[in-house]
Chain A
């Protein structure tokens, strides 16, 4: 079945550092891929998405490219801020009914 694997956290960075959070997936067909973010005390919200191979999703300085050949959707940001501290979830939506499968989440801690 479909599955998502994310790097374990926490990821600890200083402000303005470069961020990469790895995500790989296993899926049949052509899934859509998502990154969700959960700030402390809140629910999840969509950060970005990509619906086909080689698409790049971007939002708030974050970006991720749908790589079919490596089955990956790594999240990157060139310069993180303290306000980016949150838990990040990679997810995929298979074909047919739109039920998302989530990774286990990666906590990012950014210090001033």
Chain B
């Protein structure tokens, strides 16, 4: 069964902490994405990557960075967490040839106190 796995379903962090959200996919997909999901705002793209060591800013990259050292793994980093980064974070992957279809992980719900 093909999967996108996010390392943590629930996290609670304090303001100023560094936070790592990990995502691994087993489908050999070239493209990987990080979205955040907030009520009334839908999904907003933070960063994406179309190849190893490549990254592109999405619509709301401020306060975030990413790392893609291996094809199957895409990490989202909050250098100094703030309360307005409390949200659901969704990782997704896709193939270059899939016509845009995304495969999503189950999400990581982050609370910053």
Task: Please report A residues at the B interface, Cβ cutoff 8 Å.
Answer: 32, 34, 36, 41-46, 49, 51, 89, 93, 97-100, 102-105
Contact = CB atoms under 8 A, between A and B. Distances in A.
Contacts, number: 54
Contact of A34 (B33, B41, B101): B101
A32 B33 CA distance: 18
A45 B97 CA distance: 18
A44 B45 CA distance: 14
B43 A32 contact: no
B104 A44 contact: yes
A32 to B, nearest CB: 5
Interface string B80-113: 0000000000101010101111101111000000
A100 B100 contact: yes
Given A97-B50, A98-B99, A89 B43 contact: yes
Contact of A44 (B41, B90, B98, B99): B90
Given A100-B102, A104-B41, 10 more contacts: A32-B100, A34-B100, A43-B4, A44-B92, A45-B104, A89-B42, A89-B43, A98-B96, A99-B58, A102-B43
A94 B73 CA distance: 25
A44 B102 contact: yes
Interface string B1-27: 000100000000000000000000000
30 contacts: A32-B99, A32-B100, A36-B102, A36-B104, A42-B107, A43-B4, A43-B90, A43-B92, A43-B105, A43-B107, A44-B90, A44-B92, A44-B104, A49-B99, A49-B100, A51-B99, A89-B43, A93-B99, A93-B100, A97-B50, A98-B94, A98-B98, A99-B58, A100-B100, A100-B102, A102-B35, A102-B43, A104-B40, A104-B42, A105-B42
